[in-house]
Structure 1
Amino acid sequence: MILSVQNICKTYLDYESNFKRFASWFSKNKEEKNVKTVLKDVSFDVGAGEVVGLIGQNGAGKSTLLKIISRTLKPSSGRVTSGAKISSILELGMGFHGDLTGRQNAYQSCSLMGYSKEQIDEIIAYIEDFAEIGEYFDYPVRIYSSGMQMRLAFSVVTANRPDILIIDEALSVGDVYFQHKSFDKIKEFKSLGTTLI
């Protein structure tokens, strides 16, 4: 197994207002009256090279589960076990800083993914070419359209083939041309043994 999800639960405290949330920080009564359960005892294993789709209604917890698998959100209980290199596009522009250029954001994102500056220097041309955003690569991301943000995000996470690639609805934005180009890249990864979720 390349990934094992074991008894994942995720709960949140549900406050009626921001004031009540703020007031709870100072309250001696730590009773958790308004607990919202998003995920309860979710378990499954994924083998190397498998393709797994999560299906459910809005609010079912699909995105929450993907964030937990990607290690950007901690579960309330349970655990995710994987020694694999995981890359993910969970939310459009997630992790991008609006005042930084596309190039600077690419460097920052790759650095957070564990790449050295030398490794990033080797793949930055791929990111720029694959994104196909031209001179905007050196403009602040805050002026990007949602499609341009998706192009940059996808180019960053696919610059090196991960063991597991997680995509959560990000490819639903942008133009048809880039969607096809992205799906071709995903097919290439699948043929090379990448696990897709």
Structure 2
Amino acid sequence: MGAIQVTGLGKAYRQYASRWGRLAEWLLPGARPRHQEKWVLHDISFAVAPGEAVGIVGINGAGKSTLLKLITGTSQPTRGTVSLQGRVAALLELGMGFHPDFTGRQNAYTAGQLIGLSAEDIHALMPEIEAFAEIGDYIDMPVRVYSSGMQMRLAFSVATCKRPDILIVDEALSVGDAYFQHKSFNRISEFAKQGTTLLIVS
């Protein structure tokens, strides 16, 4: 069973008046700061219990995607901590980690290993990945020829080919056709019934 604990989380980015300010800070580390901090998240705390489903809703620029990146570890917080229990599968940015010159099959192996699956696991699950994605012969073509919907189909199929303890989904499912969105939400619902912890942003 998966659980998420977020405590005092904050993220600030440095803003420089010019590119020379950044260079000056690098070259003169003891000199006065030449940047201002822009906080996009400040003092966020919450917990998602095992088997619970939580949705985060907000306008563009509210920091939703930044929060998910901090939770999944693709970005580091300025302050605070994140604690995860269990195997995590995340769909953040569409096709994130896919190499455009590799085939869908090659990218599936790479993406699967990034979420903790072995090459043997992926090989055994590949028929299911192909069947769920429903992209046909495109599985053996370079990802650069894929539509955004096809990328989403493959990314979702790989991320969910084995039930995770925690599933984190950004707005990736807003891309593509209604048929596959419905199919994806059915799989997510099945995971929830089996005890997967869900964190979804819209």
Superposition TM-score tier, normalisation by shorter sequence: over 0.9
Compute the displacement of 1:177 (Å).
Answer: 0.8
Change (3 A) 1:84 1:22: same
TM-score of the aligned structures, taking structure 1 as reference length: 0.94
Aligned equivalent of 2:51: 49
- Partners of 1:40 and 1:97 lie apart in 2 by 34
Number of equivalences: 197
Q: Residue type of the partner of 1:119?
A: D
TM-score of the aligned structures, taking structure 2 as reference length: 0.92
Which stretch of structure 1 is more off in the superposition, 67-76 or 8-17? 8-17
Compute the displacement of 1:100 (Å).
Answer: 0.5
Q: Residue type of the partner of 1:76?
A: T
Ranked by relative contact order (alpha carbons within 8 Å, sequence separation 6 or more), the top structure is 2
Unaligned runs of 5+ in 2: none
Compute the displacement of 1:21 (Å).
Answer: 3.9
User: 1:7-156, aligned counterparts within 5 Å?
Assistant: 7-18=8-19, 20-22=21-23, 24-28=25-29, 29=31, 31=33, 33-156=35-158
Cα-to-partner distance string for 1:54-96 (whole Å, 9 max, x where unaligned): 1222111110111111111111111111221111100001011
Unaligned runs of 5+ in 1: none
- Partners of 2:134 and 2:172 lie apart in 1 by 17
Which stretch of structure 1 is more off in the superposition, 61-70 or 49-58? 49-58
8 A contact 1:8–1:77 mirrored in 2: yes
Compute the displacement of 1:40 (Å).
Answer: 0.6
- Partners of 2:110 and 2:32 lie apart in 1 by 39
Change (3 A) 1:17 1:181: farther
Query: Cα RMSD (Å) of the superposition?
Result: 1.6
Q: Residue type of the partner of 2:40?
A: V
Identity among equivalent pairs (%): 56
Which stretch of structure 1 is more off in the superposition, 21-30 or 169-178? 21-30
